[in-house]
Chains A and B, each alone.
Chain A
Amino acid sequence: MTRATASALMRATRRTLIGPVCAAYLLLVLPRLCTAGSVSDAPPPQDSLRQFGLLFDVQAAPHYSSPSSYADGGYTVSLGFGLNFSPVFQMTIQIYTGREMIPRGTAKPVDGWLPVGGASLEGTFFFATGTPVRPYAAAGYGLYTISGGDGYNGGGLSLEAGAEWDFSRFVSLRFGGKYDVIRYHDPTGEASQAVGFQPFTLRAAGAAVRMAFYPDLLP
Chain B
Amino acid sequence: MTISFPRASALLPLLLFLYGGEARAQDTSDVKPLRLTLVSAVTLGTVIPVHIYQQNAWWQGPRAPFRFENDWAYALNVDKLGHMYAGFLLSRMFRYSLEWSGFSEHTSTFYGSVLGLSYQMYVEVEDGFHRVYGFSPGDAFFNMMGATIPLAQWTFPVLRNFTLKYSYWPSTGYRDELKAGQAKAFLDDYQGTTVWLAVDPHFMMGEKVSSAVPPWLGLAFGVGARDLNESGGGRRQATLALDFNFSRIETESSVLHAVFTLVDFVHLPAPGIRLDGNRVLFGVFYP
Complex CA gap A52/B68 in Å reads: 31
CA distance A96 to B110 in the complex (A): 24
Could you tell me if A87 and B151 are in contact, using CB atoms closer than 8 angstroms? no
Interface string of B250-272 (1 = CB under 8 A from A): 00000000000000000000000
A217 and B158 within 8 A (CB) = no
Least distance between B101 CB and chain A CB atoms (Å): 14
Total contacting residues, chain B, CB less than 8 A: 42
Q: Does B54 contact A (CB under 8 A)?
A: no
> Which one of B18, B65, B136 has the greatest number of beta carbons of chain A within 10 Å?
B18
B45 to chain A, nearest CB (A): 25
A-B interface contact total, Cβ < 8 Å:
119
Q: Mark B1-40, 1 if CB is under 8 A from A, else 0.
A: 0000001110000010011111010010000000000000
CB 8 Å contact bits of B64-82 with A (1 = contact, 0 = none) = 1111111010000000000
B156 with A85: CB separation less than 8 A: no
Known: A95-B137, A219-B7, A219-B106. A87 touches B27 (CB 8 A): no
Partner of B8, one of A37, A170, A218: A218
Given the complex of chains A and B, what is the CA–CA distance between A56 and B155 in angstroms?
Answer: 13
Q: Please give, as numbers and ranges, the residues of chain A lying within 8 Å of B66 by CB-CB distance.
A: 143, 153
A85 & B18 in contact (Cβ 8 Å cutoff): yes
Q: Determine whether the beta carbon of A151 is less than 8 Å from that of B134.
A: yes
Are the CB atoms of B67 and A79 closer together than 8 Å?
Answer: no
Q: Which residue of A lies closest to B25 (CB)?
A: A218
Counting chain A CB atoms within 10 Å of each CB, which of B20, B24, B27 scores highest? Answer: B20
A96–B27 CA distance with the chains assembled, in angstroms: 35
Measured CB to CB, the closest approach of chain B to A41, in angstroms, equals 11
Complex partner residue of A52 from B9, B148, B152, CB under 8 angstroms:
B9
B144 within 8 A of A: yes
Judged by a CB distance under 8 angstroms, whether B109 is at the interface is: yes
A153 — which chain B residues lie within 8 A by C-beta?
65-67
Whole-angstrom CA separation of A187 from B138 in the bound complex? 22
Residues B110 and A147 in contact, CB atoms below 8 Å apart: no
* CB <8 Å contact, B68 and A144: yes
Distance in angstroms between the alpha carbons of A216 and B109 in the assembled complex: 13
Task: Please report the C-alpha to C-alpha distance between residue A215 and residue B149 in the assembled complex, in whole angstroms.
Answer: 11
Q: Check A217 against B64 for contact (C-beta < 8 Å).
A: no
Nearest-neighbor residue (CB-CB) of A38 within chain B? B156
Q: How far is the CA of A97 from the CA of B107 in the complex (A)?
A: 32
Instruction: Name the residue in A54, A116, A218 with the highest tally of chain B Cβ atoms < 10 Å from its Cβ.
Output: A218
**Interface check A34, CB cutoff 8 A:** yes
**What would be 14 A-B contacts, judged by CB atoms less than 8 Å apart?**
A38-B158, A48-B22, A52-B19, A52-B20, A56-B148, A79-B145, A115-B69, A118-B137, A119-B135, A143-B68, A147-B69, A187-B67, A217-B155, A219-B111
- Besides A116-B70, A215-B154, A219-B110, 4 other A-B contacts (C-beta < 8 A): A51-B21, A52-B21, A95-B144, A218-B8
User: Ordered nearest first, which 6 A-B pairs have the shortest CB separation?
Assistant: A117-B68, A86-B20, A52-B21, A115-B70, A145-B68, A97-B137
